[in-house]
Amino acid sequence: MIAFVRGRFVHKTPANVIVDVGGVGYDLQISLNTYSAISQQEEGQLFTHLHITENAHTMYGFADPSEKMLFLQLISVSGVGASTARMMLSGMKPEEIIRAIVQNSATELEKIKGIGKKTAQRLTLELKDKLAKLHDQQLMAGMEAVGRSIESDALDALVALGISKPMAETAIRKTLKGAGDTVPDLENLIKLSLKNL
């Protein structure tokens, strides 16, 4: 199976891109999320998934492996086809979809065209546990982007207060998960982490 294609983007629209790979043009269906990532690029690499149905062989392209992974998770849910999954990735950012599923927020998913109440509930029910680990990783990655110093300073402070390092790390992770997109400042992170011990 083709895992990725790398080449020149000879034609781009918000829905598809043609990638010239050594003289062969691959027509990839993409999400708006991927289009945003590659819109300013002349060439690059896209991770791919070949979706085979009775009527067509369609190749989907993704700007990064985590978007591809999420797409595969979405289409594993009964009632969610490849076009619906692509619509979801065009309507919300991958991290927003993951957060909505992990936080059991079916109403957020219902805002996406083509997602009804039953499908939204099925998505949260079937994927919540599978995506929880990825959600934690994204939170920690978000912290690193802001600056690992806040997290490490909080960890040092909790350890200095006599809390074991594994317990302190778990409490900080729990606090960050509960905070959503807003990263608390150092003082609040320490206070909230103490409550989460």
What is the per-residue pLDDT for 146?
Answer: 47
In this structure, which amino acid lies at residue 169? Answer: E
What is the per-residue pLDDT for 131?
Answer: 84
Task: Judge contact between 78 and 58, C-beta under 8 A.
Answer: no
114 and 175 housed in the same domain: no
**Domain end: 63, 82, 113, which one?**
63
- Radius of gyration for the alpha carbons in the chain, expressed in angstroms and rounded: 20
Give me the CATH number covering residue 33.
2.40.50.140
Tokens standing for 162? 């006599």
9 and 52 housed in the same domain: yes
What is the per-residue pLDDT for 147?
Answer: 46
Task: Write out pLDDT tens, residues 89-115.
Answer: 998 888 889 888 988 888 889 888 878
Q: Which of the given ranges, 20-24, 126-130, 137-141, 152-156, has the highest pLDDT on average?
A: 20-24
What is the per-residue pLDDT for 151?
Answer: 80
Range of the domain at 23: 1-63
Tokens 């000879």 appear where? 10
Task: Write out pLDDT tens, residues 43-87.
Answer: 999 999 999 888 889 999 999 988 999 999 999 998 899 999 999
Measured from the Cβ of residue 181, the count of other Cβ atoms closer than 10 Å reads 9
164 and 151 housed in the same domain: yes
Write the CB contacts of 109 (distance below 8 Å, at least 6 apart in sequence).
88, 97, 100, 101, 115, 119, 120, 123, 124
| Structural domain total, the chain | 3
pLDDT tier for residue 135 given thresholds of 50, 70 and 90: low
